[in-house]
Amino acid sequence: MLVSATFELLRNYVKERMKIMKLTLYLNDYETEKLFSYLRWLFVLLSVILFYVPPFSENVATNKDVFPYLLASGCLYMLITQIALFRMKDDKKHLKMVLKLGIAFDYIALIWLMALSGGIHSPLYPISILFVLHATIYWRTRGAFISMLMFSGAYIIMGYFMVDLAQFENYYPAALNLFFLSIIGLFGALIMLRERTHYIQKEAYHDLVHRDYLSGLFNHRSFQEKLKQNCTSGKRFCLLLGDIDDFKKVNDEQGHQKGDEVIKAAGEIFESICDRYNGQAFRYGGEEFALMFPEKTIPEMKGLMDELFATFAKTTILPLSMSFGESCSDEGNVPEELLSLADQRLYKAKQAGKKRVCLRNGELFEGVTESPTPYLVSN
């Protein structure tokens, strides 16, 4: 029953990925680690069967006294990893740390598990190939060779202390295992490196199509796709449409290069605040930007906008001033309608004196912090 459930989980996961990735096996680091995390649970299940379920437990020499400690620590680690993967999906810095710790855990757990299930004769030896491939993903060629050397060294030490390596029945299978690990691990690593190279190239092409080069944000095409996706899925969200005040004067009086610097600075501000509020930012076109956030109450949106206005005021290039219009998914699920509402409210904010947001209820909010002095306003 448990075996069937585990295989069904893996089958559904792969099926889901194939559908999302349009029948391609190119996975990013996060999705790859999710797959490895599921495989860990599968190997835990296989280990329990090997240690406790006849006829496996009757025909394989295992240490059942120590195995529960490994099982408990392994399950605890994997549970923590699953939670960390879920929470750190968009936190690339800490996610990479979790991924590399996962490789170290795999190494320790594999050596420990093999020592408890027959040492160099353990039927779990083939897992070592996955360990090499896992290390190759994050450390490339260096990871492949270091992981093979580390495992081979531990394997030989295990054999030295657990059996008499001078005997043919011990050194012959040990030598064959290490030989095949080297061959399969090397070719597997080469295939894995090629796959990762193709994936990086694919992501680079994707960025060229979906990101705006100047601001670093997603472009207009990506915005339209995301807006349609959110509306179709019934996801509750807020849309902000913003426009840099008096931007034409920046280009006319200080040059287009200065205008480019302002666009870039605005992009960095939007990206930063979207990271904090779990949103997405887009360059809609010219000096216009669009932001989408999970649904927020009006007080929550005021707090977000107050922080945004305060950040604009601290920019070193020019004290940015922007106007915004807000719409919300509860006003309709048609992309064109939400965009039109946000655009109308943006116009209302402009007409009311700029550097403010017109919220979904029609309220004009300027922020509670000291407003920045509008740049390049000349009489």
Annotated catalytic residues are 287
Contact 333, 360 (CB under 8 A): no
Provide the residue type at 146 as one letter. I
Q: 239 has which bridge partners? A: 292, 327
Give the three-state DSSP class for 298: helix
Give the separation between CA 206 and CA 162, rounded to whole angstroms. 52
Closest CA to 150 of 165, 172, 128, 170: 128
CA–CA distances in Å: residue 115 to residues 64, 161, 274, 349: 12, 10, 48, 70
Helix ranges (H only) for the chain are 2-20, 29-52, 56-59, 67-87, 92-116, 127-162, 168-210, 220-233, 247-254, 256-277, 298-313, 335-351
* C-alpha R_g of the chain: 28
The count of other CB atoms within 10 Å of the CB of residue 86 is: 9
